Amino acid sequence: MPKNKKFDKVKEVKRKSRIDTKVAGKSGPHLDKRSHRNHKTTKDYLFELSKECEVERKIIIGISDILTAFDDISIGTKVTSPTRFLEILGDAAEKFDWSACRIKGQGYIELHPEAIDCVSGAGVGRRTDDPNDYVIREHRGRVGLYLKRGLASKAAGVAAVLYTSDAYKHDPEVTSDEIDYLEVNNCSYVLVAVLAHPQGYNSPLTPYRFILNLAGGNREALDWTADEIRQKAKEIYEHSNIWMPVAD
């Protein structure tokens, strides 16, 4: 077992033939406030989908330690119905064409429209000129300004950034604690991001994440061409002038 009893609080979603759904565990992530969690502390819960077809098999989805979508105090997209959301994600992971990923095992998956009902709204809202519309929050080791969640735009779609366990282990920023987490729990996948977006728009990277990826923070960025980098920079610039992430 990992150190410090990391998995004392475990939330499992068990499903048989898409009919029998049972939620086990103490009380799941929503009761476990993580406002003082260190930036790189492994999540102490995971989701397990157990599915019986002709052959019984399990899908175990781990939660990346940078993801706050299931927390009480969250930045960006907030998942309000974890059980149903993970069921939808589990189905999508099985149907997704993993061979089409630009980097093996790093998947960007548009989820079934039912996922919209599992989130509180889009993870962004339109910028305003009123300072009272903003809150200051710590996120991934940095203090920043965010729109209040009540100003989030309506979600028109939800996507997930999902890595296979092997791909996540090779991510440049993954810690040894997280690798222990994957191995001890036999995770099939790791959920890295949940992106609920407004109509006609897909979430680009934040300026900070874009720069970090170019500096070696993500393996996919190593394959970007100069034209792609310029196009991404243009999209991020235009996006950040209009939209801002929301927070609790």
What digits encode the pLDDT tens for the residues 20-64? 222 222 223 322 323 333 333 334 344 554 443 333 457 888 888
Q: Range with the lowest mean pLDDT among 30-34, 125-129, 161-165?
A: 30-34
Please count the helices (runs of H) and the strands (runs of E) in the chain.
Answer: 5, 11
Beta bridge partner(s), residue 244: 125
pLDDT in tens, 56-84: 457 888 888 888 999 888 999 999 999 89
Q: Range with the lowest mean pLDDT among 32-46, 93-107, 182-196, 208-222?
A: 32-46
Please say if the pLDDT value at position 152 is more than 90: yes
Average of pLDDT values for 11-20? 32
Confidence of residue 215 (pLDDT cuts 50, 70, 90): confident
From CA 155, how far away is CA 27, in angstroms rounded? 27
Neighbouring residues of 41: CB distance < 8 A, sequence distance ≥ 6: 65, 177
Give the phi and the psi of residue 111 in degrees, each rounded to 5: -90, 165
Neighbouring residues of 24: CB distance < 8 A, sequence distance ≥ 6: 10, 11, 12, 14
